[in-house]
Structure 1
Amino acid sequence: MGRRLIHFVAQVALVLFFPVLSHKGIFWRYKVMGLAFTARNRGKFKRMDKDVFLSSDLILRGPEFIEIGRGASVGPRCSLTVWDVGMNSGRVCLKIGDDTSIGEGAHITAANSIQIGNNVLFGKHITVSDNNHGDTTLAAVEVPPPQRPLVSKGPVVIEDNVWIGDKATILAGVTIGRGAIVAANSVVTHDVPVACVVAGVPARLVKRME
């Protein structure tokens, strides 16, 4: 009941105090609605630390398998989905570290395990996935894609202080080393070493930071 009351009060405040057409009003509307959404859904997560912010339009599935660290934020039009299909049953499948910022439009989907470290910065419209619909055998292609079982080539690990540019895609079985930079529009299919820059499709090493 307490969370519902918070949500109701927030909605009333938006109508009374924040004009929809002003830039400042839009910003505060976004903040207040996000804080209300975060408070209302806090108890659904496996763990959520202090000062977390979730945008109110977040698409959420399987929050009981998700941990979010202190000060982390998830921007507008994102989706966090965990599919409990027996690969990692009963364990945390998606972990977001302290002070990590997930940018607008990110799609993070786990059926095995995705571990995102501390102080990671996501740009906009980034995809992180540890699973696919079926494998690449001839037998699998006879089954309509929505009916194929989820399979995973391995967990995804994104270590601390990583920066991922807009529209990058991180695929299953990949570890991105501490301090690495993934350029915009890259598709990461193999491990990225510590303190390196990768770019391209598929992503390749372009620089080692010294």
Structure 2
Amino acid sequence: KSDEVNPFDEKGVEISDGVVPYSLVLNNLSINGNHYEWFVYNQDNQLIWTGTDEFPSFTIDNEGYYHIVLVSTSRESCRDTMEWGEFYVESASKLEVPNIFTPNGDNINDYFQVIATTLSDFHGIITNRWGKKLYEWDNWEDEEAGWDGKIGNSLAVPGAYFYIIKATGKDGTEYDLQGTFYLMREK
């Protein structure tokens, strides 16, 4: 009998970052274990899940940083612990489109832009009432991404305009949105 009855097969295991809801099937790398205790902790080091299966699965439903600990015990009551490095789970994707904007230079609502989180792909088009394309953009994350209310170098007239937005969330959600919004200018 050796002192290392239950050593882990240390292979630099990492858990990839993910998006809510993030489902994991844990790979048990212990050798000669017969009792397992799994612990999942959040970024505040609070225990959020525990299990005793040899190869458990669970789902993380909240954004944040997490780490996992496995305590494996052999028949001879030798214990070994392995901790997986920190991984991050992003929130589920979200995409909201405003119904009005006021491009007046006050740095408040000066661009027609979407409110979004965790998108992997985005494409937006602005048209006038007759379907003529006025603006097109792909960068939803930039603070000045979106339409500034100009057509070329001229100010667009106040009124109704249309958007066509196609996007994909990192969680696989597909967005195919079309609608009307209003450009308002102070007189």
TM bin, normalised by shorter chain, reads: under 0.3
TM-score by length of 1: 0.19
Higher helix share: 1
**Which protein shows a greater Rg?**
2
Higher RCO, Cα 8 Å, sep 6+: 2
Higher strand share: 2
